[in-house]
Amino acid sequence: MFRCPASLAMILILASAGSGAVFVDDDGSGNFTTIQEAINASEIGDVIVVRGGTYSENLVVDRSIVLKGENGPVVNGSGLSTPLITITSENVTLEGFTFTGCLNDGFDSGAVLVLADGSRILSNSISSSSGNGLCLRDSGDHLVSGNLIRDNRRGGVCVIRANSSQVMGNRIIHNVGSGVALESSENDELVQNEVGENGEGGVRLAGSKSNDVVLNEIRLNAEDGVYLLDSSNNILVENEIHDSRLNGINLYRSGNNFVLNNVIRNSGEDGLLVIGLSNDNTVAGNIVHSNDINGISVYGSYFSSFSNNEIFQNGYNGITLRDNSSSIMVSDNDIYGNTMYGLSLDGSDTNVIRNNDLYDNQNGIIMVRSSDNVLEFNEVYNNRFGLSMEFVENVVVSGSDVHNNTDHGIQLKDSHRSKLWGNDIRDNGADGVHISGSENVVVYRNMISNNDEYGVQLLDLSFQNLLIYNTIQHNDGGAYVYEGKMNLFFSNIFTDNENFNVRDNSGNKWTGNFYGDYSGRDLDGNLLGDVSYVIRGRRGVVSFDPNPMMVPIWSEEGRGLQMPEAMNASDIGDSAVIINGA
């Protein structure tokens, strides 16, 4: 309880306080007229009720008490440049006050400054400070809830080396700096806050780890919605982040974070930016749309995964990997309606792009100056180009469904040692597979059908490519080597193409293919035609397949047409070695 002063007058004052509380009222009707007097007279555990009025004080709370405002008392300071209230004792509750006009502008201070553990800052209004609104520093285990923190000239809430605290259900708006800033803090929770219209970022974490940012609305902030700098093992879950002037979420030099089930929209730049060796992040289940540049951008970062996101109607690309971003998994995303590319890889190697749906973008997947990437089990449709690769090496495209794109299904330009395996490439507006200026490409066991121009076209000195065990049918033209040398076509099916099954302008090898328009006979029953199949080209050029198959018989291994015993393996050169090695 309170200390009993010697004077009889003070005894009478204390006797008038009911229910274990004392009252402060600036009109003289309470036990005290100033808050600091009541604090100085209190004991641990006491309750001080401050009635409505204006209190021109700068308070210091140095004991564990409850300060409770009744009818919105206003604390506006005495003209000193110290915080309006400084809490230096553990387990203090501060509830129901208005703090305004603080003159303290320290970056590590605030109108309300908490320096000890276990404070409860509840249902206060903190505004118009020259510095931060609320600062939790060098302490922990706080609860900050139900407060309105606005129009402060630095940040709304700063948390500096303050751990295991909860900031929940607050409105943090119109501050000049960041809405909420955590520095060197751990195990804090930011939950169900409204963080909006702040002059810098919405939520900023610097050098902080293992914090939870959950179920917040973060809107209309002048920089990034959420910015992580040198921060790790944080969880960003089910936030709505919209109308940020820069990026919705920016991870800079920050790794091992989880970005899950957020809605990120209408950002002035990227929805999510991962940059500067921000490695090992997990990004899943987010809806990312209507951002002015890219939905997700990754620059110079490694080992992250992006899965089960819905990414649509962004101003440029759905997802971009650039600047040597590598060892990244992009899987099970729905990427559609982006103005340029669904997925763009530029100078990025050793990534896996798996089981994504990419549709209604200008182009589905664009890959430039990249190597050793694997694209598998994707469905790419209703774009201009389905998949376009330029200056790439050792790329594998397999098990994918590439259809109904208005230009080429798959295009390779100046690309080498890459492989197209087991894809269904159909109903595209130009070529199914378009190979230009490329070498050592293996096109293996694909179904290529119903494309408006050629099933496969090779041009611009494409050299030493292998087309093996493909079915090429119902295209305007089957396979056309316009300009290329030493390419091998073995054990393919060419049938029911409208204008021709194959055409070659010379210099390539054809053997063991099935041609639907072959009219020769097999008198000796060895499954090979008795006369060569004639392949015509420009200016009267003629090539031959000396071993045309009579029927399309698939081998037991399911790898392609069965090689008849009558055909010598030497007839196909080194292709068997290449296939087995692959």
Q: Residue 118: which CATH number?
A: 2.160.20.10
248 and 311, same domain (yes or no): yes
In percent, the amount of the chain with pLDDT more than 90 equals: 90
104 and 187, same domain (yes or no): yes
- Whether residue 268 contacts residue 244, with contact meaning beta carbons closer than 8 Å, is answered with yes
pLDDT of 206 strictly over 90: yes
Q: pTM for the whole thing?
A: 0.91
The 10 Å CB-count burial string (b at 16+, else e) for 106-131 is beebbbbbbbbbbbbbbbbbbbbbeb
Look at residue 562 in the predicted model and tell me its pLDDT.
Answer: 52
236 and 295, same domain (yes or no): yes
238 and 282, same domain (yes or no): yes
235 and 132, same domain (yes or no): no
| pLDDT 10s digits, 449-479 | 999 999 999 999 999 999 999 999 999 999 9
Question: Looking at the domain assignment, is residue 163 inside a domain?
Answer: yes
Query: Residue 144, by phi and psi: left (phi above 0), alpha (psi -120 to 50) or beta?
Result: beta
Burial status of residue 568 (CB atoms within 10 A of its CB: 0-12, 13-18, 19 or more): exposed
Number of domains in the chain: 3
198 and 228, same domain (yes or no): no
4 and 111, same domain (yes or no): yes
Confidence of residue 20 (pLDDT cuts 50, 70, 90): confident
Question: Looking at the domain assignment, is residue 162 inside a domain?
Answer: yes
Question: Looking at the domain assignment, is residue 518 inside a domain?
Answer: yes
Question: Looking at the domain assignment, is residue 259 inside a domain?
Answer: yes
| Alpha-helical segments (H) within 7-50 | 8-15, 35-41
| pLDDT 10s digits, 302-355 | 999 999 999 999 999 999 999 999 999 999 999 999 999 999 999 999 999 999
pLDDT of 6 strictly over 60: no
pLDDT of 400 strictly over 70: yes
Q: How do beta strands 305-307 and 329-331 pair?
A: parallel
Question: Looking at the domain assignment, is residue 297 inside a domain?
Answer: yes
Look at residue 525 in the predicted model and tell me its pLDDT.
Answer: 87
Confidence of residue 579 (pLDDT cuts 50, 70, 90): very low
Look at residue 145 in the predicted model and tell me its pLDDT.
Answer: 98
Average pLDDT for the chain: 92
270 and 192, same domain (yes or no): no
- How far is residue 202's CA from residue 151's CA, in Å, rounded to a whole number? 14
Question: Looking at the domain assignment, is residue 366 inside a domain?
Answer: no
326 and 390, same domain (yes or no): no
Question: Looking at the domain assignment, is residue 360 inside a domain?
Answer: no
| pLDDT 10s digits, 403-450 | 999 999 999 999 999 999 999 999 999 999 999 999 999 999 999 999
Question: Looking at the domain assignment, is residue 367 inside a domain?
Answer: no
pLDDT of 10 strictly over 70: no
| pLDDT 10s digits, 224-247 | 999 999 999 999 999 999 999 999
423 and 339, same domain (yes or no): no
298 and 393, same domain (yes or no): no
Determine the structural domain holding residue 271 and report its residue range.
224-351
498 and 408, same domain (yes or no): yes
Single out the residue of 377, 372, 336, 341 nearest to residue 356, CA to CA. 377
Beta strands in 350-409 (DSSP E): 352-354, 357-359, 363-368, 374-376, 379-381, 387-390, 396-398, 401-403
